[in-house]
Amino acid sequence: MSVELLVVVACVVTLGIVIAAKLTGVLQGFHGNIKENITEVTGSGY
């Protein structure tokens, strides 16, 4: 493997991790909002 290829692979992996982390954070925030809304409506945590 050439150095250039290794650098490209490292960049792609890093980008993938960053994107996955952002998506995970968005999904967790979204889920948290849903739980809060349901708690307000029903008065329970479900």
Burial letters 20-35, b for 16+ CB under 10 A, else e: eeeeeeeeeeeeeeee
As a whole number, mean pLDDT of residues 4-27 equals 92
Quick one: pLDDT band at residue 12, thresholds 50, 70, 90?
very high
| Structural domain total, the chain | 1
Q: How buried is residue 2: exposed, middle or buried, by Cβ count under 10 Å (0-12/13-18/19+)?
A: exposed
As a whole number, mean pLDDT of residues 17-21 equals 91
pTM above 0.85, yes or no: no
Quick one: pLDDT band at residue 1, thresholds 50, 70, 90?
confident
What is the residue range of 27's domain? Answer: 1-46
